[in-house]
């Protein structure tokens, strides 16, 4: 087998998720959180309603049992950090930066995460309403055991993304650029911007189901 054939046989390449090492963290009060501050090895919990975390930097930290009517993380940076049981009807986190992050057992209604940058992120056991990742740059992203009402990847650049035991009810792909995006286990009820599927991997059954929409997007007239 040639190198080119071997590369094609191995695709789609799976996400590369870096495990997070357990470390000792210091619990801190939400009142001590300031915008644009940088913290490491801290544990945050409780009600963050009214707390503005814009531009905050967290490293090797833990956000656990968080609640907020609106959670503000615009332009924040999270590295080697876990978010566990976060409950927020609204998450405002445009331009968020995530690297080596786990989001676990969380419930978020509207997640405004456009223009964000994610690298090695595992979202597991989460219930998400509208996940807005427009114009995001996503590398090595894995969804496990999640329910997502609507995933918007319009104009996003995505490399190595996969879904395990996950439901996405509506998928939007206008202008998306995908590489090694594995959609074979998904059965979205609706796909908008079907031309954005270029670079994704589909099963034979999915391809057959999408054939009329793909033909229409390509301007192909089918006549028996």
**CATH value at residue 198:** 2.160.20
Question: Does residue 204 sit within a domain?
Answer: yes
Q: What is the pLDDT of residue 155?
A: 97
Whether 186 is in a domain gets the answer yes
Which parts of the chain have pLDDT scores under 50?
A: 1, 5, 7
Residues sharing a CB contact under 8 Å with residue 6, sequence separation 6 or more, in sequence order: none
Cα first-last separation, the chain: 40
Q: Does some domain include residue 4?
A: no
pTM: 0.89
Tell me whether residue 2 is in a domain: no
- How many distinct structural domains can be found in the chain? 1
- For residue 3, being part of any structural domain is answered with no
Q: What would the DSSP string read from start to end of the chain?
A: --HHHHHHHTPSPPP-PPPPPP---EE--GGG--TT-EEESEEEEEE-TT-B-TT-EEES-EEEEEE-SEEE-TT-EEEEEEEEEEEEEEEE-TT-EEEEEEEES-EEEEEE-TT-EEEEEEEES-EEEEEE-TT-EEEEEEEES-EEEEEE-TT-EEEEEEEES-EEEEEE-TT-EEEEEE-TT---SEEE-GGGGTTEE--HHHHHHHHHHHHHHTTPPP--
| Residue closest to 39 by CA, chosen among 53, 22, 51 | 53
pLDDT at 1: 46
Domain membership of residue 168 as a residue range: 25-217
| Structural domain includes residue 183 | yes
Question: Does residue 151 lie in a domain region?
Answer: yes
Determine, yes or no, domain membership for 137: yes
């Amino acid at each position: 087998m040639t190198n080119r054939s071997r590369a094609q046989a191995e695709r789609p390449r799976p996400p590369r998720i870096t495990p997070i090492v357990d470390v000792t963290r210091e619990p801190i009060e939400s009142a001590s959180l300031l915008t644009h501050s940088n913290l490491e090895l801290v544990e945050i919990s409780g009600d963050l309603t009214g707390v503005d975390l814009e531009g905050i930097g967290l490293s090797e930290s833990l956000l656990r049992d968080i609640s907020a009517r609106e959670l503000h993380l615009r332009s924040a940076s999270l590295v080697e950090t876990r978010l566990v049981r976060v409950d927020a009807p609204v998450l405002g986190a445009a331009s968020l930066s995530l690297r080596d992050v786990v989001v676990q057992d969380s419930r978020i209604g509207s997640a405004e995460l456009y223009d964000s940058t994610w690298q090695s992120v595992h979202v597991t056991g989460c219930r998400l309403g509208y996940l807005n990742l427009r114009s995001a740059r996503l590398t090595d992203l894995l969804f496990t055991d999640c329910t997502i009402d609507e995933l918007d990847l319009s104009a996003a650049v995505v490399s190595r993304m996969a879904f395990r035991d996950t439901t996405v009810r509506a998928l939007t792909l206008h202008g998306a650029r995908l590489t090694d995006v594995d959609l074979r286990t998904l059965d979205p009820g609706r796909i908008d911007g079907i031309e954005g599927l270029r670079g994704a991997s589909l099963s034979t059954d999915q391809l057959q189901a999408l054939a009329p929409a793909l033909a229409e997007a390509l301007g192909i007239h089918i006549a028996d």
